[in-house]
């Protein structure tokens, strides 16, 4: 008999986190706990309002499958019992951990994968003034950052990138527009950004309005984030993106994320693994996908005032297991 529980937890941020859609000073997560009386396994998700989710809606979804879970719902059956999204992610990850522990293994061993010592991860530069973003870049460089992800909207795009590149001349830079560049002259913008050795641009246009990328010449690889939620989305994106960003909260857990990675590689698309704001409990679950990716953005815990314990270690631009 499995006992299934979940709770909503508010995690204050150490500093404000801003993107093109708004500013956050705290993040609300939902944590799932599964126990068979001896083993305790947990999973965490971050409900996202942009995807019509809230802590309340996620808890309602989890409550709807409580009886099935406690009666032995399998990880495979879960994929049909709940839709893609945060609720299924938290439960799926907890199930992976429980299944592994019941066999006396880690999730890595269950997947027949070798756990790395560390993975290079992006450090996000929150949307701010030019001066503050350049200062944040310089601070990140002083701490050994290897990859910076720049949050931008429509204002001072080139100026901010130029200032950040000046502050971080050797660091790999990627840009996340969070769907904010609709109506801009993208070809000219991409060409101008190419001069700053930008490695990738994430989701410049809104999901559903990204067809212009088909005809748009871009010397910088473009990555689908909001346009790509699950495996079935991938094939239709090949004519406009070179990469996809896999996030466990979007796709509904490690099970679907692993399938997405396999599908994307088969279709010739490169991989990025990202995250919502959240604790080490959520980031650790994504690492088996992250080791397959060209770019990794799992820096959620560095924004928290207090992390989940045991915490992953973030040092010298890498996340250490």
Per-residue pLDDT, 1: 86
What is the per-residue pLDDT across 241-292, written as a single tens digit (0 to 9) for each? 999 999 999 999 999 999 999 999 999 999 999 999 999 999 999 999 999 9
What is the per-residue pLDDT across 109-134, written as a single tens digit (0 to 9) for each? 999 999 999 999 999 999 999 999 99
> For residue 97, what are the contacts with CB-CB under 8 A and spacing of at least 6?
34, 41, 42, 43, 107, 285
The predicted model gives 45-57 an average pLDDT of 97
Half-sphere exposure of 268 (CA within 13 A, CB side): 7
Per-residue pLDDT band for 144 (boundaries 50, 70, 90) equals very high
The predicted model gives 187-206 an average pLDDT of 98
pLDDT > 90: percent of the chain: 98
How far, in Å, CA of 164 to CA of 150, rounded? 9
Q: Which residues are catalytic?
A: 151, 247
Per-residue pLDDT, 82: 98
pLDDT at 77 over 90: yes
Per-residue pLDDT, 281: 98
Say if CB 139 and CB 302 are below 8 A apart. no
How far, in Å, CA of 279 to CA of 157, rounded? 30
Per-residue pLDDT, 293: 98
For the entire predicted model, the pTM comes to 0.97
Sign of CA dihedral 262, 264, 265, 270: negative
**Summary mean pLDDT of the chain:** 97
pLDDT at 20 over 90: no
The predicted model gives 298-317 an average pLDDT of 97
């Amino acid at each position: 008999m499995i006992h299934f529980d979940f709770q909503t937890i508010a995690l204050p941020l150490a500093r404000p986190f801003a993107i093109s859609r708004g500013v956050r000073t705290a993040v609300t997560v939902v944590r799932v706990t599964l126990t068979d009386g001896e083993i305790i396994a947990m999973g965490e998700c971050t409900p996202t309002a942009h995807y019509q989710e809230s802590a309340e809606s996620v808890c309602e979804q989890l409550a709807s499958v409580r009886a099935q879970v406690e009666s032995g719902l399998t990880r495979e059956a879960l994929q049909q019992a709940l839709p893609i999204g945060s609720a299924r992610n938290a439960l799926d990850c907890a199930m992976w951990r429980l299944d592994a522990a019941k066999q006396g293994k880690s999730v890595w061993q269950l997947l027949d994968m070798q756990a790395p010592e560390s993975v290079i991860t992006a450090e996000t530069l929150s949307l701010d003034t030019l001066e503050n973003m350049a200062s944040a870049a310089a601070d990140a460089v002083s701490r050994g950052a290897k990859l910076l992800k720049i949050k931008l909207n429509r204002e001072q795009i080139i100026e901010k990138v130029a200032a950040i590149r000046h502050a971080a001349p050797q660091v790999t830079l990627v840009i996340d527009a969070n769907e904010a560049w609709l109506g801009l002259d993208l070809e000219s913008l991409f060409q101008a950004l190419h001069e700053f050795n930008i490695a990738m641009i994430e989701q410049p246009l809104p999901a559903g309005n990204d067809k212009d990328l088909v005809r748009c010449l871009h010397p910088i690889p473009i990555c689908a984030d909001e346009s790509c939620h699950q495996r079935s989305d991938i094939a239709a994106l090949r004519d406009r993106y070179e990469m996809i960003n896999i996030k466990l909260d979007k796709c509904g857990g490690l099970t679907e994320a692993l399938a997405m990675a396999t599908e994307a590689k088969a279709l010739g698309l490169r991989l990025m693994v990202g995250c919502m704001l959240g604790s080490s409990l959520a980031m650790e679950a994504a690492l088996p996908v992250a080791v397959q990716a060209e770019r990794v953005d799992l820096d959620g815990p560095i924004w928290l005032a207090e992390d989940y314990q045991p915490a992953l270690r973030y040092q010298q631009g890498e996340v250490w297991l």
